[in-house]
Structure 1
Amino acid sequence: MKLNSCSILLNLLILQYFSVLCLSQDFDFFYFVQQWPGSYCDSRQSCCYPKTGKPAADFGIHGLWPNYKDGGYPSNCNPDSRFDKSEISDLISTIEKEWPTLSCPSNDGIKFWTHEWVKHGTCSESELDQREYFEAALKLKQKVNLLQALTNAGIKPNDEFYELEDIKDAIKEAVGFTPGIECNVDSSRNSQLYQVYLCVDTSGSEFIECPVLPRPRCGSRIQFPKF
């Protein structure tokens, strides 16, 4: 009986150790990811507008994701940290505008934001609590207007095709750092501008040069679809 008790105690201590280790997990930088709604809706069978109505024809926040320099990333770091809408109640109207959901069925966005906090945000708790996490993403969105940067370079969401390097250059000109570009493929097999990755320091406040970028999987010329 004593042996079993000791074994149970040892297992609890090991679990506690790994729990603390996970909660205190460090990371090297953030990916700040924005997505083009026209590409999301053009290549998925299930695209629904949120209950607040059709989002603006603008890039929307997808997430602020802690990452490692080796290309890996932490996730779901604190199962005890739940999304609490009351902590960001005064930010909701702005989040609805800048961080809209396009998933089906049409919803109020809570499921989307909960997922982003639980999977990614909890891994930044050494730097940002829940409110600071969402505030950081909104402030980063205010710092860079991707659509304006592209439009200034003559790159518009008009279903036309543009050189991938021209898109990167236009964004770098506006932000000062090289972006990562993620493409998707529509039903006509067109490679489309889908998501833009910018790297941010661990405070969540300043853009930096990316230590590593995701594989683009884009053609040399990609479509910028209407929305």
Structure 2
Amino acid sequence: MKSQSPFALTLLLLPPFLATLSVAQDFDFFYFVLQWPGSYCDTEKSCCYPSTGKPAADFGIHGLWPNYNDGSYPSNCDPDSPYDQSKIEDLVRAMQENWPTLACPSSDGTHFWTHEWEKHGTCSESILDQHAYFQSALNLKKQVNLLQALTDAGVKPDGGFYSLNEIKDAINEGTGFTPGIECNVDGSNNSQLYQIYFCVDTSGSQLIECPIYPRGRCGPRIEFPAF
């Protein structure tokens, strides 16, 4: 009979839910996703400003998402680790400014942050606890400084149109990394700059080149609408 490794024997002895959890929390990289509020709102569905007021005309955080190199991703990894705002009280103001919700009806962001932690954050909590998860996303937004990178290259949120390569080159020049670009459409079916994807190592702190990019669905001319 073939002998089993000590690690394999340990997994066999674990309760099934613990063995599953240990596998589910293994991942290859994070997507760090930033969203342009003007494109979120300039659709047939429109948007609602947060109860804390209209956000600044800047990219907002959508999420920090564990992913696998084949394009799949883990989700909802630990139902016993619910969002707990008491653990991040010192970050709430910064999150209201940098991680706002534009979904309707208006809210203070709690529902949005709960979803992001419970669906995505719990899959990285062996590395980042709840406070570290949200802090890492805030740190990455400062590090990327995306709007500055674009405007420095003449790509401005004034309703102008740009090519996909113009946008990618501007971001690469400003950040040193090639982004993934996702577009949506406005009421006139114009392709709009909607979400920007960066890849981050499993520590949640260092940008890396993406092993795989999301499907962007961008047209040949991409509008950068005002907000």
TM-score (norm 2): 0.91
Check the 8 A contact 1:180/1:197 in 2, yes or no.
yes
Distance change >3 Å, CA 191–CA 15, structure 1 → 2: farther
1:1-31 deviation line (CA, Å, top 9, x unaligned): xxxxxxxxxxxx9994144322442000000
Q: Which residue is 2:203 aligned to?
A: 203
Matched, 1:152 2:152: yes
Cα distance in 2 between the residues matched to 1:80 and 1:24: 16
Q: Which residue is 1:222 aligned to?
A: 222
Check the 8 A contact 2:51/2:108 in 1, yes or no.
yes
- Range that drifts further, 150-159 or 41-50: 41-50
Matched, 1:21 2:20: yes
Cα distance in 2 between the residues matched to 1:44 and 1:20: 45
Cα distance in 2 between the residues matched to 1:30 and 1:89: 24
Q: Which residue is 1:176 aligned to?
A: 176
The offset of 1:110, in angstroms, is: 0.2
Cα distance in 2 between the residues matched to 1:168 and 1:34: 14
Does the residue aligned with 2:103 lie in a helix, a strand or coil? Answer: coil
**Which one-letter code corresponds to 2:27 in the other structure?**
F
**Which one-letter code corresponds to 1:22 in the other structure?**
L
For structure 1, the residue ranges without an aligned partner over 5 or more in a row are 1-12
How many residue pairs match? The answer is 215
Say what the alpha-carbon RMSD is for the aligned residues.
1.5
- Range that drifts further, 17-26 or 134-143: 17-26
Cα distance in 1 between the residues matched to 2:174 and 2:97: 22
**Which one-letter code corresponds to 2:16 in the other structure?**
Y
Q: Which residue is 2:131 aligned to?
A: 131
Does the residue aligned with 1:78 lie in a helix, a strand or coil? Answer: coil
For structure 2, the residue ranges without an aligned partner over 5 or more in a row are 1-11
What does 1:51-130 correspond to in 2, within 5 Å? 51-130=51-130
- Range that drifts further, 39-48 or 217-226: 39-48
Cα distance in 2 between the residues matched to 1:46 and 1:82: 30
**Which one-letter code corresponds to 1:75 in the other structure?**
S
**Which one-letter code corresponds to 1:21 in the other structure?**
T
**Which one-letter code corresponds to 1:82 in the other structure?**
P
Q: Which residue is 1:8 aligned to?
A: none
Cα distance in 2 between the residues matched to 1:41 and 1:14: 51
1:26-55 deviation line (CA, Å, top 9, x unaligned): 000000000000000001424111111000
Check the 8 A contact 2:40/2:46 in 1, yes or no.
no
Q: Which residue is 2:162 aligned to?
A: 162
TM-score (norm 1): 0.91
Cα distance in 2 between the residues matched to 1:23 and 1:105: 37
The offset of 1:144, in angstroms, is: 1.2
